[in-house]
Amino acid sequence: MTLQTPSHRIPLFVALLTGTLLLAGCGKDDAASAPAAAKPALTVEAVVPASAEWPLTLAANGDIAAWQEAVIGAEVSGYRLAEVRVNVGDRVKKGQVLARIDSGTVAAELAQTRAAVAEAEAAVTEAAANAERARRLQEAGFYSHQTGSQFMTGEQTARARLAAARAKARADEIRLAQTQVVAPDDGIISARAATAGSLTQPGQELFRLIRGGRLEWRAKVAEADLGRIAPGTVASLTLPGGAELRGKVRAVAPSVDAASRDGLVYVDIPTGSGEAARAGMFARGVFELGRGSALTLPQSAVVVRDGFAYVYRLGALDKSGLGKVAQTKVELGRRVGDRVEVVAGLPADAQVVAAGAGFLADGDTVKVVAATPAGVKKAAE
């Protein structure tokens, strides 16, 4: 049995089929045109800059040198060094014997001079007696005035010879004392050229002495910054070995080097730092110039690329906490602990990615799990 569709139902069936196909096609187009949900590149926390009171500092470099270095030599020349009693690094006291020069020849000359003094004293005694007798005889009329004057002149000549002999003896005593080379002040022996058995020469250096064991840091500061430093300013030094010292500015040089345009600032290093600080060392340091407000971020929020510092600033977030980041160039200043000062380029109320900035690019989508402006500020305070 063959079923036949009535001719009047065919148009209705075709219309229904066409409508169904059109609706199916529209659904596919709508599904294709619906945007896919963006996936975050990173899950981050957000922070805002915190305000804090930080010290104002000025960085400088310079060398450590002796406050004063005394050059010690022999005061008598042409004599043999019999003994050297100190070495480099020894601490000595004022008047301590550093070396001894053979004194045999000088002692003999002193003995001879003292004998000459004794002879001159005897001559003075005899000349004085003759002069006194001549005055009495002259008064009695036995001596002429000329003869009496001769005896008196003889007395004066004998006294002059005695004075010369005594002066020579005193000079020989000084020379004998100078056969002992002594320290002119307390301090540390920084150099030694003396060798036992050698002959002393005029102007020869035997030792160098750091007076008082005092050292100073001679910091080179740009001419524009010299006016910011005054005597008494505290300076913190970092030595090559990592040791840290604190000192105070003693003086600021009154002149500036014409070639480098730098001036020297002299900082006293505390006595007793000799084991860490040594003359000739290079040291870095900072001068503490007071305190000032700073807008700070954790260092983890800053990324350095191509020599410039950047942070990733967060834009508006949707209901699910997703938002885009914008790479923002900033200028950095001081660093204290794990925080860094932002000098320019970022508003005080801006939210930035707290950590992981090195894995982001400009325009990336991130998911923010927490925003901690209050916590950061409290920690900074």
Q: Are 175 and 89 in contact (CB under 8 A)?
A: no
| Strand pairing category for 365-371 and 42-47 | parallel
Share of the chain above pLDDT 70, in %: 83
Whole-number pLDDT of residue 182 = 93
Residue 38 pLDDT grade (very low, low, confident, very high; cuts 50, 70, 90) = low
Q: Look at residue 129 and give its three-state secondary structure.
A: helix
Beta-bridge mates of residue 84: 99
Q: What distance, in Å, lies between the first and last C-alpha atoms of the chain?
A: 97
Q: For the whole model, what pTM was predicted? A: 0.61
Dump pLDDT digits (tens) for 274-301: 567 888 899 999 998 888 888 888 888 8
Residue 12's pLDDT band (cuts 50, 70, 90): very low
What would the pLDDT profile of 205-258 be if each residue is shown by its tens digit?
999 999 988 899 999 999 999 998 999 999 999 988 888 889 999 999 999 999
Q: Are 132 and 155 in contact (CB under 8 A)?
A: no
Q: What's the mean pLDDT in 131-135? A: 76
The span from the CA of 311 to the CA of 299, in Å, is 10
pLDDT of residue 377: 39
> Going from the N-terminus, what domains does the chain have, and what CATH number goes with each?
42-54+293-380 (2.40.420.20), 59-67+214-291 (2.40.30.170), 77-101+179-213 (2.40.50.100), 103-178 (1.10.287)
**380 pLDDT tier (thresholds 50, 70, 90):** very low
Number of residues that this document lists for the chain: 381
What are the tens digits of pLDDT across the range 71-99? 999 988 888 999 999 999 899 999 999 99
What confidence tier does 347 reach under pLDDT thresholds 50, 70, 90?
A: confident
Tokens of 253: 């040089």
Asked if residue 154 has pLDDT above 90, the reply is no
